[in-house]
């Protein structure tokens, strides 16, 4: 068992304190100097010095000191010194401090008594405690609550010691008596806690005799009561009935902490709907009443847990949970939305969407900085609502389309993606969406949104009127041609002069559209006025949004415009009976294409048009000049088909994920079976879960070690020295989260005693040795187990190297055996993780460290290579399998992993099959820190060869 | 609900001070704190985050972080309060809130943290209280010091006086007078007398005849009834505290819980307490208890140095309406026994007709609730004897040393007068590590290693086993070690052979039911 550590103090190694100085100061009479020396001594001890010679000095000169601070420091000193020898026996000199402790326990100063009692709580050595027991017990009846409090705790910790029950046979009785007469809240709590931990039945009987006063007890005591109830019910399920009433009475307690605890207890005791509802209601109340964000978030966590275990009950509370959206904190809002989205049902969907809509509107009015992000969140939420319940789409889609022109690009993109999906899945809404989109198109500011909107226009304008107004809208947004003229001034005046004209043209071209379908007449008219008004205003400022984007050099958008126009014209050919009109539209489109190309080659812009866009526009020109049926089919149908395929793919993936989730929650073969018609087992459940809770503390203190199988252990043994070396050493390396433990076995292979044998270790990389090495004496042919702890502070490949130094009796000089290096593998620290595509991209853009590894492998197949890399790097492939499916001679995939320290590791793999069948390409690793990028790169370089 | 550690870190992640409240290894806490700056995200509006095993709750203070490490089940509301309190304390102790300042006051901060969190649990304290606790200004200590000082002064005075006296006596001696010596000696005797007188007077009262015992008994009435009050006050209202106010709502709640198959026990009563009460519970309306206490001291080589029996007859009435009664008794006619009645009793009635009744026939006997076995004392008696045949149980203990071991054989012999129950003979032994080896025994034995006592117990001594023996071996020891042997037993018959013949109701009607108990117990039964 490793020593426990009770305090840490930063110690500046720059100012070394010499043991002699400390000793002198301690021996002197100057109190401040003594205090100083004591502090220094404690700090040295904390830093691994042992200072054995100091103990006697302290016993002689510090123990008798009258000063309170000195006494307190003395207790700290006693707390941290080694009190036992290597075999676990108490050192004989420790008896010297007993007298002092006893005096302190009877000291006239109550605070000295108190701190001494508190010190006893941390003492484990029965031999020291035994003589002190009478004095401790005396303090139980002290006048000061401060003393009683600590005395009770001291009794508790003594009783908890291995032989404690013999030391203090009647402690529970005593404490029970104390509890009956105690008035101080804290002391009462401690007494109850003592009974709770040491004599549970007494605590229970006390609780039950005072059942009607529980609600009047202090907050601290109530908390322990709840803890007791949980524990009792865990071991004895049948008892539960007695306690529910207590919990209910505590639900009305004044202290919020108690209420919170109550709700938790209620959930853990019962799964009856009423109990869960009460707990959930309590959480909701806390959610609203508490202003602290931390509390809100944790309460939301609890609600989330409830949601997964008792969804049916939480569904009723959905609106209460939604009210948490009133908090301005984005994390809270996100969590709330996450919970709510999983609770929507056909019954409450309308209410929820209404609320979300209101929230969206609120974001329009207020000028809060986070509004954009929040709106994005809301839009995503509405989006997923609409996917689950397509009928709500009609109520929200128009509202959302107002945000197409949002200055927050991300939320605008979300909207447009949403619209794209809805228009495909909800054919009924198509017409209204298209009209609306055409009306609001001019507001769109961002290029990406614009291109997506253009795609929708190109794909979903089907009727003649729609196609025509689509073409008109695009033309209008492009403004007057040409895009530039030699004289800048001329162009500006031209544009301002001619826009009104263009406007009137569009209006006229729209008219037949309106007439074609009477039902749209009013809508169209309304949009027309809305449309024309801003254009006039805009005409003088900027001529069309696409135009201004093009003029900044975004030719990708130009290509999209060209494609859209081509599609529209192709469709026009199908729906427009008048050949003249078609030809007119075709020529106009061609004119636009040509002027775009012209703009691309002009010197006005800083960059000329890129080849891709150039090719694409040229292709469009060709297409319009010479159309074949095959190409027409591709343009008018195949695009749409692949989009439909993508959607269904997405749906499929989601359902599969759901299925996988559902699979997990199925019952285990050895689960208890509920016979609904017999006595319901409700409320008995969750006990298995509770057991885990109990381990929580143990896990938190690191006491909890799950033993791996020993065979696995043997695999990780490293030989450190040769068999013919005088000292043989081997190490078993176990890697925990933040530390590495080396279990080193050292065997003396000689016939001589090795003295002062010391294992000196040094590290390279982000590793740190925790303890200073100690010296051992090794008898002939005997062995010794040495443990070394090494702290890791970041994900990085590290090397531990060192040597064993020893002396033999006949040779005075020290002999050194150099050890084999121990490499710490980065793979122990990273684990596969998932992140969204967008997050991956932002991180990719953000991270500073990139390591580029050229592919060099014997593996011939791209997919096999990818799998090999995934396997050897312990990362998760973010690219969906379907995207990697087909044989096309090249492959690109994103891999992602997270380290235990929360660092991200990104890998992009791009490979192409060469003509000779070999793979070539690059693997790029990006991370925030150099360590990961380098180590992961090394790892990949080492492993990528494969084949073997 | 446990705080694992309270720590202060610098912005760069250096651990300045950390105090752990539960046992954990150094590597663990350092690991946890080293992970803190890495996990600390930026731009968050909340100040906690969780890992797989622990939760960090923190608060930035200028260039520092104050961090609480808790387990994940911990109550966040309470932890935040603790954190708030700690964050108020830090500037109280550390003047400059930076690395250097914290480093200078690290120990003071640890002391303060200790006052706020105890074994991981939050204490109910305020900043002012913590400051007070840490300052350790104790009025008591000052007083103590004053007293000490005054004592020193006094002693100095005494010393001076003595010195002068000695001086004087020296001068006197020089004169050749003896008187000085005498005066000093007599002074000493006086003081010692006054010290002795207090205990002697106390014991005199206690052993004084029946009268003294009666006084004791009378005295004990009020104290007992006081002791009863709290229990009677808490018992009757059944959960009234809960039924008040929100009772209806709670009931609804309970009903619906029940409907859902939840088992609810409406009136939860402690089990242990009930069991205890049940043994003493009286079902009969009137109970009469005759009890005799035995004080016997036997000499180890035979003979008896003390034999004393004290008896009481007590009456307990459950209901007020049964209070107007008289009790007719019958005594065994043992001439050695002197009876004394309670001062309120009609003495004549007793001496003439052996009927116990109150002087004032219109006054009822006081009633007492069930569960309290004491009742009202009516009659006391006492018997002393030098007759060895009266001793119910004689013990003969023979330690004999043989080589490296001491053989101890003990035998008991019980007189035919009584059947003794639950006899326990406790023999002190020299300090032993292991239980002595028992060679032969009638009955059972148990070794109490802490007190080093061998307990020989016989459940019942009746005509089948009027005598018995035990033999055991211990390492060599002086024979006096095995004394005094103390004996405990009970019996159901008494020396006085007092019996209640009848209960006479003063208001006429049928005599009420009554129960009678008789027992003899040992109070102090020793073989010296």
User: Where are the extended beta strands (E) located within A284-414?
Assistant: none
Asked if B64 and B16 touch (Cβ cutoff 8 Å), the reply is: yes
Among the partner residues A39, A108, A274, nearest to B253 by beta-carbon distance: A274
Q: Per-residue pLDDT for B218 more than 50? A: no
| Domain B3-134 architecture | 2-Layer Sandwich (3.30)
Mean pLDDT, rounded, of chain A: 78
Exposure b/e, A491-520, CB count within 10 A at least 16 = b: beebbeeebeebbeebeebbeebbeeeeeb
Identity of the highest mean pLDDT range in A525-534, B234-243, B319-328 = B319-328
Distance CA A533, CA A585 (A): 25
What's the pLDDT band for B215 if we cut at 50, 70, 90? Answer: very low
Contact indicator for A597, A609 with CB cutoff of 8 Å: yes
Contacts of A189 in chain B (CB under 8 A): 121
Residue A797 in contact with residue A825, Cβ under 8 Å? yes
3-state SS record for B423-469: EEEEEECCCCCCCCEEEEECCEEEEECCCCEEEEEEEEECHHHCEEE
Q: Do B144 and A108 touch (CB under 8 A)?
A: yes
Chain A within 8 Å of B71 (Cβ-Cβ)? yes
Q: Give the C-alpha separation, B80 to B86, whole Å.
A: 10
Asked whether A147 and A113 are in contact (CB, 8 A), the reply is: yes
- Across the range B205-230, mean pLDDT stands at 40
- pLDDT higher than 60, residue B231: no
Flag whether residue B277 sits within 8 Å of chain A, measured between CB atoms.
no
The lowest-confidence range among A312-326, A842-856, B191-205, B283-297 is B191-205
Pairing state between β A904-913 and A890-899? antiparallel
| Per-residue pLDDT at A699 | 61
B436 within 8 A of B445, measured Cβ to Cβ: no
Mean pLDDT of chain B: 76
- Residue A13's pLDDT is 63
Q: For A920-931, how does the pLDDT look when each residue is reduced to its tens digit (9 = 90+)?
A: 899 999 988 888
Band the pLDDT of B93: cuts 50, 70, 90. confident
Q: Who has greater pLDDT, B211 or A417?
A: A417
Residues A165-180 have a mean pLDDT of: 85
- Binning pLDDT at 50, 70 and 90, where does residue B181 land? very low
Q: In this structure, what are the phi and psi dihedrals at residue A796, rounded to the nearest 5 degrees?
A: -170, 150
Dihedrals phi, psi of B458, to nearest 5 degrees: -130, 125
Per CB-CB distance under 8 Å, the chain A contacts of B25 are 2-5, 702
What is the maximal distance between C-alpha atoms in chain B?
106
Q: How far apart are CA A816 and CA B478, in angstroms?
A: 63
Residue B267's pLDDT is 58
Contacts with A, B 496-515, CB within 8 Å = none
Nearest to A240, CA basis, from A219, A217, A268: A268
Handedness of CA B214, B217, B221, B226 (dihedral sign): positive
Residue B292, both tokens: 């005799």
A151 phi and psi, to 5 degrees? -65, -40
Closest partner residue to B16 (CB to CB) among A10, A114, A295 is A10
- Pair A783, A743: CB distance under 8 Å: no
Please tell me the predicted confidence (pLDDT) of residue A726.
Answer: 87
Whole-angstrom distance, CA of residue A531 vs CA of residue A472: 12
CB A470 within 8 A of CB A497: no
Across-strand partners of A937? none
Q: A516: which residues sit within 8 A by CB, 6+ positions away?
A: A463, A464, A465
Instruction: Name which of A112, A33, A12, A128 is nearest A78 in CA terms.
Output: A128
- pLDDT-derived band of residue A625, with 50, 70 and 90 as boundaries? confident
User: Is A4's CB within 8 Å of B25's CB?
Assistant: yes
pLDDT-derived band of residue A423, with 50, 70 and 90 as boundaries?
confident
Residue B219 pLDDT exceeds 70: no
Contact A33, A40 (CB under 8 A): no
- Superfamily of domain B284-528 in CATH is Mu homology domain, subdomain B (2.60.40.1170)
CB B427 within 8 A of CB B483: no
Residue with tokens 């550590």: A5
Nearest CA distance, B152 vs chain A (angstrom): 17
CB–CB of B242 and A249 under 8 A? yes
pLDDT at B491: 87
∠ CA A783-A786-A787, rounded to 5°: 155
Query: Nearest-CA residue of chain B relative to A180?
Result: B230
Torsion of CA A574, A576, A579, A585, to 10 degrees: -90
pTM: predicted TM-score of the whole model, two decimal places: 0.62
The pLDDT score that the predictor gives to residue A668 is: 67
Task: Give per-residue pLDDT as tens, A374-387.
Answer: 888 888 888 888 87
In this model, does residue A567 exceed pLDDT 60? yes
Q: What is the pLDDT of residue A504?
A: 34
Task: Give the chain A residue nearest B255 (alpha carbons).
Answer: A274
Would you give the distance in Å from CA A172 to the centre of its chain?
45
Query: Cα–Cα distance between B317 and B364 in angstroms, integer?
Result: 10
* Helix, strand or coil, per DSSP, at residue B406: strand
Which residue of chain B comes nearest to A771, CA vs CA?
A: B27
Q: Are A700 and B242 within 8 A, CB to CB? A: no
* Pairing label, strands A754-764, A798-808: antiparallel
The size of chain A, in residues, is 948
Residue B471 · residue B440 · CB < 8 Å = yes
- Parallel, antiparallel, or unpaired for β A739-748 and A767-769? unpaired
Report the distance separating Cα A147 and Cα A154, nearest Å: 10
Map tokens 């162009």 to a residue.
A491
How would DSSP label each residue in A745-799? Answer: EEEE-SSS-EEEEEEEEEEESSEEE-S---EEEE-TT-EEEEEEEEEE-SS--EE
* Tokens 């108190």 found at: A114
Instruction: Tell me which of A700, A788, A902 to substitute to probe the interface with B (most B C-beta atoms closer than 10 Å).
Output: A700
| Residues of B whose CB is below 8 A from A292 | 80
Nearest to A773 by CA among A759, A787, A762: A759
Residue predicted with more confidence, A49 or A503: A49
Mean pLDDT, residues B141-146: 86
Range with the largest mean pLDDT of A43-47, A685-689, B79-83, B473-477: B79-83
User: What radius of gyration, in Å, describes the C-alpha atoms of chain B?
Assistant: 36
C-alpha pair distances (Å), A569 with each of A370, A505, A620: 42, 18, 11
User: In what side-by-side order are the strands of the sheet with B3-10?
Assistant: A7-9, B15-20, B3-10, B64-71, B54-61, B48-50
Instruction: Confirm if B415 and B391 have CB atoms less than 8 A apart.
Output: yes
Per-residue model confidence (pLDDT) at position B187: 42
Q: Name which of A245, A743, A788, A829 to mutate to probe chain B: the one with the most chain B Cβ atoms within 10 A of its Cβ.
A: A245
pLDDT of residue A287: 87
Query: Average pLDDT, stretch B491-514?
Result: 80
Candidates A2, A7, A238, A903: best to mutate against B (most CBs of B within 10 A) is A7
- Taking only the tens place, the pLDDT of each residue in A20-39 is 788 888 888 888 888 888 88
| pLDDT score at A543 | 56
The tokens of A201 are what? 């039945």
Is the distance from CB of A493 to CB of A561 less than 8 angstroms? no
Return left, alpha or beta for A161; rule: phi > 0 is left, psi -120 to 50 is alpha, else beta. Answer: beta
Token pair for residue A710?
């020993």
CB contact under 8 A, A697 and B111: no
Residues of B in contact with A162 (CB under 8 A): none
ω before A37 within 30° of 0 (cis)? Answer: no
Count, residues in chain B: 528
Q: Does an H or E element contain A908, and which?
A: strand A904-913
pLDDT per position as a tens digit, A207-265: 888 887 888 888 888 888 888 888 887 777 677 777 888 888 888 888 888 888 888 88
Interatomic CA distance for residues A568 and A438, integer angstroms: 13
Distance, in Å, from the CA atom of A616 to the CA atom of A570, rounded to the nearest integer, reads 16
Tell me which residue in A209, A252, A292 faces B246 most closely, judged by beta carbons. Answer: A252
Domain ranges of chain B: 3-134, 185-221, 284-528
Cβ contact, residue pair B273, A241, below 8 Å: no
pLDDT of residue A182: 82
- CA gap A122, A128 in Å, rounded: 12
- Choosing among B78, B148, B237, which should be mutated to test the A contact, i.e. which has the most A CBs within 10 A? B78
Rounded to a whole number of angstroms, the distance between the first and last alpha carbons of chain A is 43
Supply A139's token pair: 């303090």
pLDDT of A778 above 60: yes
Smallest CA–CA distance, residue A387 to chain B, in Å, is 31
- Cα A525 vs. chain centroid, distance in angstroms? 51
Q: Please, is B366 exposed, middle or buried when counting C-beta atoms within 10 Å of its C-beta (0-12, 13-18, 19+)?
A: middle
Q: Mean pLDDT across the stretch B286-293? A: 85
Which 8-state DSSP code applies to residue B388?
G
CB of B246 less than 8 A from some CB of A: yes
Q: What is the mean pLDDT of residues B322-343?
A: 79
Nearest to A210 by CA among B319, B231, B33, B254: B231
């Amino acid at each position: 068992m490793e020593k426990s550590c009770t305090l840490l103090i930063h110690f500046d190694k720059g100012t070394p304190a010499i043991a002699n100085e400390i000793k002198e100061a301690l021996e002197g009479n100057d109190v401040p100097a003594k205090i100083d020396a004591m502090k220094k001594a404690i700090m040295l001890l904390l830093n691994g010095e042992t200072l054995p010679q100091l103990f006697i000095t302290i016993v002689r000169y510090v123990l008798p000191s009258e000063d309170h601070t000195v006494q307190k420091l003395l207790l700290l000193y006693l707390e941290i010194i080694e009190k036992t020898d290597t075999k676990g026996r108490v050192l004989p000199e420790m008896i010297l401090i007993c007298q002092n402790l006893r005096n302190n326990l009877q000291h006239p100063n109550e605070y000295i008594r108190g701190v001494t009692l508190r010190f006893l709580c941390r003492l484990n050595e029965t031999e020291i405690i035994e003589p002190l027991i009478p004095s401790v017990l005396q303090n139980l009846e002290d006048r000061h609550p401060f003393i009683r409090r600590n005395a009770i705790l001291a009794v508790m910790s003594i009783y908890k010691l291995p032989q404690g029950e013999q030391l203090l046979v009647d402690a529970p009785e005593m404490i029970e008596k104390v509890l009956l007469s105690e008035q101080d809240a804290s002391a009462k709590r401690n007494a109850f806690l003592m009974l709770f931990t040491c004599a549970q039945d007494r605590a229970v009987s006390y609780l039950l005799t005072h059942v009607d006063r529980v609600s009047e007890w202090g907050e601290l005591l109530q908390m322990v009561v709840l803890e007791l109830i949980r524990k009792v019910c865990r071991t004895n399920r049948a008892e539960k009935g007695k306690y529910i009433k207590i919990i209910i009475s505590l639900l009305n307690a004044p202290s919020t902490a108690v209420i919170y605890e109550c709700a938790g207890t209620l959930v853990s005791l019962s799964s009856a709907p009423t109990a869960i509802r009460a707990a959930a209601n309590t959480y909701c109340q806390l959610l609203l009443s508490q202003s602290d964000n931390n509390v809100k978030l944790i309460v939301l966590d609890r609600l989330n847990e409830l949601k997964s275990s008792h969804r049916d009950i939480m569904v009723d509370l959905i609106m209460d949970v939604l009210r948490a959206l009133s908090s301005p904190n984005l994390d809270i809002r996100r969590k709330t939305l996450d919970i709510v989205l999983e609770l929507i049902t056909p019954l409450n969907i309308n209410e929820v969407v209404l609320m979300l809509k209101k929230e969206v509107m609120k974001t329009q009015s207020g000028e809060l900085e986070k509004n954009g992000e929040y709106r994005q969140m809301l839009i995503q939420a509405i989006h997923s609502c609409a996917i689950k319940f397509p009928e709500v789409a009609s109520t929200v889609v128009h509202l959302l389309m107002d945000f197409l022109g949002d200055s927050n690009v991300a939320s605008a993109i979300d909207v447009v993606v949403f619209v794209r999906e809805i228009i495909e899945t909800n054919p009924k809404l198509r017409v209204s969406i298209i009209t609306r989109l055409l009306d609001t198109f001019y507001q769109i500011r961002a290029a990406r949104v614009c291109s997506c909107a253009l795609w929708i226009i190109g794909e979903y304008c089907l009727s003649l009127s729609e196609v025509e107004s689509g073409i008109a809208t695009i033309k209008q947004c492009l403004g007057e041609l040409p895009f530039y003229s030699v004289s800048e001034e001329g162009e500006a005046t031209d544009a301002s002069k001619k826009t009104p004209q263009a406007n009137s043209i569009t209006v006229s071209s729209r008219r037949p559209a309106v007439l074609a379908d009477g039902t749209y007449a009013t809508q169209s008219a309304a949009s027309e006025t809305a449309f024309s008004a801003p254009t006039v205003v805009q005409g003088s400022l900027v001529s069309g949004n696409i135009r201004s984007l093009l003029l900044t050099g975004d030719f990708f958008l130009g290509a999209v415009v060209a494609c859209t126009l081509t599609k529209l014209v192709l469709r026009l050919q199908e729906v427009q009976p008048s050949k003249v009109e078609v030809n007119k539209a075709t020529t106009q489109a061609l004119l636009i294409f040509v002027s775009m190309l012209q703009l691309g080659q002009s010197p006005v812009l800083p960059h000329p048009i890129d080849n891709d866009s150039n090719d694409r526009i040229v292709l469009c020109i060709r297409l319009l000049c010479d159309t074949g049926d095959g190409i027409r089919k591709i343009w008018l149908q195949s695009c749409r088909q692949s989009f439909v395929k993508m959607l269904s793919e997405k749906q499929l993936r989601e359902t599969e994920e759901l299925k996988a989730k559902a699979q997990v929650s199925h019952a285990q073969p050895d689960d208890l079976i509920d016979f609904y018609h017999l006595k319901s087992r409700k409320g008995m459940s969750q006990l298995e879960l509770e057991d885990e809770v109990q381990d929580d503390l143990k896990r938190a203190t690191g006491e909890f070690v799950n033993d791996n199988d020993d065979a696995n252990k043997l695999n990780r043994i490293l030989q450190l020295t040769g068999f013919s070396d005088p000292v043989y050493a081997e190490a078993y390396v176990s890697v925990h989260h933040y530390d590495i433990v080396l279990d080193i076995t050292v065997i003396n292979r000689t016939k001589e005693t090795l003295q002062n044998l010391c294992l000196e270790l040094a590290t390279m990389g982000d590793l740190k040795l925790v303890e200073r090495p100690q010296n051992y004496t090794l008898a002939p042919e005997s062995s010794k187990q040495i443990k070394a702890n090494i702290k890791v502070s970041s994900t990085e490949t590290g090397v531990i190297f060192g040597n064993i130094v020893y002396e033999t009796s006949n040779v005075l000089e020290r002999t050194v055996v150099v050890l084999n290096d121990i490499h710490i593998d980065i793979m122990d620290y990273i684990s596969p993780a998932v992140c969204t595509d967008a997050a991956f991209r932002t991180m990719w853009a953000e991270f500073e460290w990139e390591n580029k590894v050229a592919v060099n492998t014997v593996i011939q197949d791209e997919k096999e290579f990818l799998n090999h890399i995934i396997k050897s790097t312990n990362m998760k492939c973010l690219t969906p399998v379907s995207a990697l499916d087909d044989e096309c001679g090249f492959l690109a995939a994103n891999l992602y992993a997270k380290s235990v320290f929360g660092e991200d590791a990104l890998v992009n793999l791009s490979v192409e099959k060469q003509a000779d069948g070999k793979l070539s390409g690059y693997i790029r690793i990006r991370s925030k820190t150099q360590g990961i990028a380098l180590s992961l790169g090394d790892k990949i370089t080492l492993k990528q060869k494969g084949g073997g | 609900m446990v705080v694992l550690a309270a720590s202060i870190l610098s912005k760069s992640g250096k651990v300045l001070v950390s105090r752990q409240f539960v046992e954990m290894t150094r590597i663990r806490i350092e690991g946890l704190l080293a992970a803190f700056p890495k996990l600390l995200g930026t731009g968050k509006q909340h100040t906690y985050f969780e890992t797989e095993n622990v939760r960090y709750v923190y608060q930035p203070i200028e260039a520092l972080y104050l961090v609480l490490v808790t387990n994940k089940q911990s109550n966040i509301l309470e932890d935040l309060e603790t954190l708030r309190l700690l964050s108020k304390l830090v500037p109280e102790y550390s003047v400059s809130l930076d690395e250097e300042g914290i480093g200078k006051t690290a120990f003071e901060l640890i002391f303060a943290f200790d006052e706020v969190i105890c074994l991981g649990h939050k204490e109910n304290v305020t900043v002012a209280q913590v400051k007070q606790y840490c300052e350790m200004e104790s009025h008591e200590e000052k007083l103590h010091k004053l007293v000490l000082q005054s004592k020193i002064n006094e002693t100095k005075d005494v010393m001076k006086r003595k010195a002068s006296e000695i001086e004087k006596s020296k001068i006197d001696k020089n004169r050749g007078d003896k008187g000085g010596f005498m005066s000093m000696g007599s002074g000493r005797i006086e003081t010692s007398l006054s010290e002795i007188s207090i205990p002697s007077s106390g014991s005199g009262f206690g052993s004084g005849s029946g009268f003294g015992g009666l006084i004791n008994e009378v005295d004990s009435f009020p104290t007992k009834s006081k002791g009863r009050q709290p229990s009677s006050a808490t018992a009757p209202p059944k959960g009234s505290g809960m039924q008040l106010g929100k009772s209806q709502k709670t009931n609804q709640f309970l009903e619906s819980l029940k409907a859902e198959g939840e088992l609810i026990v409406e009136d939860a009563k402690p089990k242990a307490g009930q069991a205890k009460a049940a043994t003493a519970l009286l079902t009969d309306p009137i109970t009469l208890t005759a009890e005799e206490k035995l004080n016997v001291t036997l000499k180890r080589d035979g003979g008896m140095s003390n034999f004393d029996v004290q008896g009481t007859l007590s009456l307990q009435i459950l209901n007020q309406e049964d209070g107007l009664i008289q009790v007719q008794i019958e005594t065994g006619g043992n001439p050695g026994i002197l009876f004394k009645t309670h001062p309120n009793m009609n003495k004549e009635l007793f001496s003439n007709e052996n009927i116990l009744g109150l002087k004032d026939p219109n006054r009822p006997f006081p009633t007492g609730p069930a569960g309290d076995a004491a009742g009202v004392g009516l009659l006391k008696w006492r018997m002393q004897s030098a007759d060895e045949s009266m001793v119910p149980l004689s013990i003969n203990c023979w330690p004999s040393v043989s080589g490296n071991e001491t053989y101890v054989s003990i035998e008991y012999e019980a007189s035919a007068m009584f059947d003794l129950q639950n006899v326990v003979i406790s023999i002190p032994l020299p300090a032993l590590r292991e239980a002595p080896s028992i060679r032969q025994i009638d009955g059972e034995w148990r070794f109490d290693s802490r007190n080093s006592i061998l307990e020989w117990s016989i459940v019942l001594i009746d005509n089948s086993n009027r005598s018995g023996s035990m033999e055991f071996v211990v390492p060599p020891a002086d024979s006096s070690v095995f004394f005094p042997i103390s004996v405990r037993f009970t019996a159901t018959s008494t020396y006085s052979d007092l019996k209640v013949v009848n209960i006479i109701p003063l208001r006429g009607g049928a005599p009420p039911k009554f129960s009678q108990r008789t027992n003899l117990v040992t109070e102090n039964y020793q073989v010296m």
